[in-house]
Amino acid sequence: MKASALPLDFTKIPGGLATAVVQDAKTQQVLMVAYVNAASWAKTLATGETWFWSRSRQELWHKGATSGNTQKVVAIQVDCDADTVLLKVDPAGPACHTGHTSCFYRDITDFDRKE
């Protein structure tokens, strides 16, 4: 993958972290949301697997490095402001550290719906 073809403008993003939405390429289910900096973005483009920046550990994070639940990148889309990326992936297992397929497994049902 060529970084120049898929630009993210890290210079205009506070803290240099772009939001990364990860979606299953086959089911279209949103699996997780994470953050990429210039280094993790470059590794994602170079390896074809997802790499992120861990805000809590302050280090690069290769998704699946310890669990084996890697994510092969199938397609990439960058939003109109070049500060958010959509990564469509072929997951090798659950995305969530809890073992759920997606990190979005909890429903909120107690809210006012405007008709």
CATH number of the domain that residue 43 is part of: 3.10.20.810
User: Is position 66 within any domain?
Assistant: yes
User: pTM surpassing 0.85?
Assistant: yes
Task: Scan for tokens 């310890």, then name that residue.
Answer: 66
User: Is position 99 within any domain?
Assistant: no
> What pLDDT, in 10s, does the model give residues 24-51?
999 999 999 999 999 999 999 999 999 9
> Any known ligand binding at 80?
yes
User: Is position 106 within any domain?
Assistant: no
- Residue 25 sits in which domain range? 15-91
User: Is position 64 within any domain?
Assistant: yes
> What pLDDT, in 10s, does the model give residues 60-103?
999 999 999 999 999 999 999 889 999 999 999 999 998 999 99
Task: Scan for tokens 């997802």, then name that residue.
Answer: 50
> Any known ligand binding at 110?
no
**Residue 15 parent element (H or E):** none
Distance (Å, rounded) from C-alpha 30 to C-alpha 103?
A: 8
**Residue 76 parent element (H or E):** strand 71-78
Rounded to 5 degrees, what are φ and ψ at 23? Answer: -125, 140
> Any known ligand binding at 9?
no
User: Is position 115 within any domain?
Assistant: no
> Any known ligand binding at 90?
no
